[in-house]
Amino acid sequence: MATSHGEHPCSLVRVGCTPYHRGMDRPPPPAGIEIHEHAPLARHTYMRIGGPAEYFATPADLVELERLMLWARAAAMPMRIIGGGSNLLVADEGVSGLVVSLRRACGGIEFTGSRVTAGAAVMLPALARAAAERGLGGLEFAVGIPGSVGGALQTNAGIGDGRCIGPLVREVEVFGGRGFQTLSRYEIHFDYRHSSLRGAGVMVVGATLHLEPRPTAEIQAEMRQLLEARSASQPTAEPNAGSMFRNPEGNAAGRLIEAAGCKGLASGGVRVSELHANFFVHDGSGRASDVLALMSEVQRRVLETSGVWLTPEIVWWGDGAPPAPFAGAPEG
Ligand SMILES: Cc1cc2nc3c(=O)[nH]c(=O)nc-3n(C[C@H](O)[C@H](O)[C@H](O)COP(=O)(O)OP(=O)(O)OC[C@H]3O[C@@H](n4cnc5c(N)ncnc54)[C@H](O)[C@@H]3O)c2cc1C
């Protein structure tokens, strides 16, 4: 589904209702906040692919964040939040509007008993390790997921055995057109690689999670095992964006892609990993258009061999209508 900007709704923070047009006159940016124009996004994504953001800012605190949001609203331009960039594919043409990193504004971790309150920009592996040092378990599964707390809450990040972030959540602090709000766990719905926060038009600024006491040595041993299993089964040394496609009900996307003979299939500088077929790896010379072409070819072959249409797990950022792999199953 496209918004009035032609964007996929899950990436946009709702700041205003007037459609934005590139080149439209807009109010000057807020004074005293460093805002970069035409900032390359490739360096902010795990895939190392993607064109520039029209504007890019890393506010120092929530006050600056609010001023940036008011500017985006006054200019009627889209505003997106980038976390770890580990689940993103950015168009070669880049994106119009403002992209914000919460790295400076939302980077804190605070423990209170068996609860931890973490800023949206805290990376899951760092949070899992900090909890382990305090003898708190529950986040072991997250040690190899290279996303931020805010990104993880959008997608209910988790691993194959069913462990995910949703059940740990007690409260989530969000910020949007209606200001700051604290949502309780009962106001948020989590399911497989999805949460009701996605598409809600708000950004996550922080979350409180409930953890369980567990000996540090046990937690660390389990985390080591999980990391070893990951490096044996996933192409961790090459740029990639994690799982490209969602697992269809009762099956694994990687298995279907392998069965369709796609391992090693390439488009430009991007190819289907030989280690794990649901990962695409980038040799440094690829473009988003290569990723899209490869996604389309994989979707076509899997549909032909298994009758299953693979839905992307990664998020697309681009202007205009979503490209073919993100536009849904073909008719008929
Ligand atoms: C090597 C590798 C392994 C991976 N393994 C796993 C795995 O085991 N399990 C798993 O679930 N995922 C996995 N992933 C995917 C990814 O790490 C997760 O989806 C992660 O939760 C994405 O978080 P992020 O901060 O990187 O989000 P980004 O990629 O930065 O953004 C993704 C989306 O979330 C939005 N977003 C980010 N932060 C916020 C915020 N604060 N408020 C509102 N919206 C926000 C963005 O606007 C965007 O729409 C893996 C990825 C890689 C590269």
The domains of the chain, with CATH numbers, are 10-101 (3.30.43.10), 109-214 (3.30.465.10), 253-326 (3.90.78.10)
The pTM of the full predicted model, rounded to 2 decimals, is: 0.93
Q: Among this protein's residues, is 243 annotated catalytic?
A: yes
Q: What is the number of the ligand 1 atom nearest to the C-alpha of 152?
A: 21
CA-nearest residue for atom 4, ligand 1, is 242
> Strand 95-101 relative to strand 79-82: parallel, antiparallel, unpaired?
parallel
Q: Reply yes or no on whether the pLDDT at 88 is more than 60.
A: yes
Q: What is the DSSP string of 4-42?
A: TTS--GGGEE---SSPP-TT---PPPPTTS-EEEEEESG
Q: Reply yes or no on whether the pLDDT at 9 is more than 50.
A: no
Mutual angle of helices 216-233 and 124-133, in 10-degree steps? 150
Q: Reply yes or no on whether the pLDDT at 13 is more than 60.
A: yes
pLDDT of amino acid 3: 31
Contacts of 218 (CB under 8 A, 6+ apart): 137
- And the tokens for 145? 């997921």
Which of 96, 148, 243, 273 does the annotation list as catalytic? 243
Q: Reply yes or no on whether the pLDDT at 244 is more than 50.
A: yes
Average the pLDDT over each of 6-20, 23-37, 135-149, 238-252 and give the range with the smallest value. 6-20
Q: Mean of the per-residue pLDDT values for the chain?
A: 93
Which of 185, 193, 287, 301 does the annotation list as catalytic? 193
3-state secondary structure of 258: helix
Gap from CA of 83 to ligand 1 centroid (Å): 7
Pairwise CA distance, residues 113 & 115, whole Å: 6
Q: What is the mean pLDDT of residues 196-220?
A: 97
pLDDT of amino acid 170: 98
> Helix, strand, coil % (nearest 5) of the chain?
30, 25, 45
pLDDT of amino acid 7: 34
Q: What is the mean pLDDT of residues 227-256?
A: 95
Q: Reply yes or no on whether the pLDDT at 203 is more than 70.
A: yes
The percentage of residues in the chain with a pLDDT greater than 90, rounded to a whole number, is 89
CB 54 within 8 A of CB 98: yes
Q: From 71, 102, 98, select the one nearest 85 (Cα to Cα).
A: 102
- And the tokens for 133? 């040092």
Q: Among this protein's residues, is 67 annotated catalytic?
A: no
